[in-house]
Amino acid sequence: MRSAAEISLTQLPSFPTGALPPPRARVLELKSELFAAAGGRGSIDDLDRLSYARDMWPLALLWVRQGRSPPPPDAVVWPGTEDDVANVIALARKRRFAVIPFGAGSGVCGGTWALGGGVTLDLKRFDSIGEVDAVHRSVEVGAGVMGESLERRLNARGWTLGHFPSSISTSTVGGWLAARSAGQFSSKYGKIEDMLLSARAVLGTGERLTTPERPFSGPDLAPLLLGSEGTLCAFTGAKLRVFPLPAGRVFHAFEFGSVEQGLEAIRLIFRDGLRPAVVRLYDPFDTAFVGKNKPGQKKPVTPPSLRGLLQTQVLPSLLRGVTRQTLGRPGLMNQLQRAFRRSRLILMFEGDAARAEAEDRSATAICRQLGADDLGDGPGKAWLQKRYDVSFRMSRLLESGSFADTMEIAAPWESVHTIYERVHEAASKFAFVLCHFSHAYADGCSLYFSFVGSGDSEADMESRYHQLWRAALSAAVSAGGNVSHHHGVGLLKARALQDSLGDGRHALRSLKQIFDPDGVMNPGKLGL
């Protein structure tokens, strides 16, 4: 099997959604054996295969608009036990087919594409949520548990995981582990690897394992399996740290004269030992758009009789016309951005009520020293209300005939502003660029770029999309950023990961050889 590092992203195979290739003969002839191995539940129906053919990688969303699909898996199975998972992997090793672990399909990097066919292993039947161990502040959950279900269950018992990715309603615990997910409150609660006490998984060798909790002697296997995106193992469950529901929550927003001042405020806040749950600094153009709707403010009501017409015909055609003219010339739009200077910071502290207020007072003093305008608690509250909306606005842009994507990387403080400027410059030729800074740490933070572009034709747009990614990621890494902070690698960043590892790629390949000696686990992802 070819590694993704050798596969050109511009030559990825696709098929008409109405004419999928049939399942490969070697999987078809195994159908009964395969389904039995998986505990009796499986499918080779085209509709199921089509459903599992893609994740939410915007490249695939462009293809959907054109009636195309990435290659479908040959079959989908729904194992219910670790034995089922091990049996499917054992069969895959014996009969040489790929196994692709699948959570809820909300990844954005092509991490679950069945490039060469194979069997998709949907783990959503691992849906158990144990009782909270209040003494040890932990809970055991199955890998297939959806994020929102878990958080609601915990909340009902007075606890929170503190993990709020924007995909919370469409992602699973197993997916979080596989891609080293981060949530919107990560600055206080950490990323998923910080919440993990122990992981359960089935390796590509078929072995079942539970990583040990501290203390233990020797290397920690958990960090080597987390982020492996199905290439080494399939996660089946986890023991996670939980926290009491916060007794208090304080919002505060500030506006700075420049991005640099806002970044300096965040750095000083973390240097001072403060740990806001939410830290979001918007670049000037993003600042011009965020927080305009006050909480509780009603939108103008459109009469129901007009809604259908507006939403299905008038708005899309207007948007198509406008976006082709504007986003097709992103350089002009990006030039326009230079007219904006001010940068908005949203902070949210939570936990012990008096502590949250005390931390807010300290952060306020830092922001004021840097000359920030105090915007009060309104923008933060508005953000909290609408925090999951932005992910779903992408579909509107796609419907309008454009493309949109996001790139998230992390870097030490010394490199953050340089990366911001260089990525902006590199990407500006191909797309309209926005950025916000979040997921802050004492030594650095994450930069989250949003790109919106268009083209003269679907082919032109796809070409621009690939050029954009090459230019933007290369600029980020050469300026001192890493390849990903929390979206993962998949196919999209496989080459960049391998390049950034340098000689270290040998270590990654050795891990692959140890945990998946026959190369059946999710081939092609991470460049493996």
Give the contact letters, 98-117, x = binds to another protein (CB under 8 A), - = no: --------------------
**Identity of residue 7:** I
Angle of helix 505-515 relative to helix 494-501, nearest 10 degrees, comes to: 110
Q: How far is Cα 508 from Cα 229, in angstroms, rounded to an integer? A: 13
Q: How far is Cα 409 from Cα 481, in angstroms, rounded to an integer? A: 6
Extract the tokens encoding 453: 């572009």
Does 261 participate in binding another protein (rule CB under 8 A)? no
Residues 27-66 that bind another protein (CB under 8 A): none
Contact range with another protein by CB under 8 A, out of 24-32, 74-82, 95-103, 268-276: 268-276
Give the contact letters, 358-377, x = binds to another protein (CB under 8 A), - = no: xx--x--x------------
Compute how many residues bind another protein; rule: CB under 8 A: 89
Does 194 participate in binding another protein (rule CB under 8 A)? yes
Residues 440-459 that bind another protein (CB under 8 A): 441-446
Residues 228-247 that bind another protein (CB under 8 A): 228-229, 232, 241, 243-244
Ramachandran area for residue 476 (φ above 0: left; ψ -120 to 50: alpha; else beta): alpha
For 244-258, the DSSP string reads: EPPSEEEEEEEEESS
Residues 488-517 that bind another protein (CB under 8 A): 488-489, 493, 497, 500-504, 506-508, 510-511, 513-515
Report how far apart the first and last C-alpha atoms of the chain are (Å, whole number): 9
Q: Select 359 or 462, whichever has its Cβ closest to another protein.
A: 359
Does 518 participate in binding another protein (rule CB under 8 A)? no
106-15-235-86 Cα dihedral, nearest 10 degrees: 160
Residue ranges of E strands in 70-124: 75-77, 99-102, 119-122
Q: Select 49 or 163, whichever has its Cβ closest to another protein.
A: 163
Q: Select 36 or 353, whichever has its Cβ closest to another protein.
A: 353
Contact range with another protein by CB under 8 A, out of 250-258, 334-342, 405-413, 426-434: 405-413
Contact range with another protein by CB under 8 A, out of 30-38, 325-333, 424-432, 436-444: 436-444
Q: Select 129 or 511, whichever has its Cβ closest to another protein.
A: 511
Contact range with another protein by CB under 8 A, out of 316-324, 396-404, 464-472, 477-485: 477-485
Per CB under 8 A, the list member of 190, 330, 523, 524 interacting with another protein is 190
Does 252 participate in binding another protein (rule CB under 8 A)? no
Angle (CA) 114-196-4 rounded to 5° is 25
Per CB under 8 A, the list member of 108, 226, 468, 520 interacting with another protein is 226
Q: How far is the CB of 48 from another protein (least distance, A)?
A: 29
Does 137 participate in binding another protein (rule CB under 8 A)? yes
Task: Count how many residues are written for the chain.
Answer: 528
Are the CB atoms for 447 and 348 separated by under 8 Å? no
Per CB under 8 A, the list member of 252, 275, 422, 436 interacting with another protein is 275
Per CB under 8 A, the list member of 213, 373, 374, 456 interacting with another protein is 213
Residues 297-336 that bind another protein (CB under 8 A): none
Nearest to 315 by CA among 206, 421, 397, 435: 397
Does 409 participate in binding another protein (rule CB under 8 A)? yes
For 336-394, the DSSP string reads: HHTT---EEEEEEEEESHHHHHHHHHHHHHHHHHTTPEEEETHHHHHHHHHTTHHHHHH
Listing from the earlier edge strand, what are the strands of the sheet with 99-102? 42-43, 75-77, 119-122, 99-102
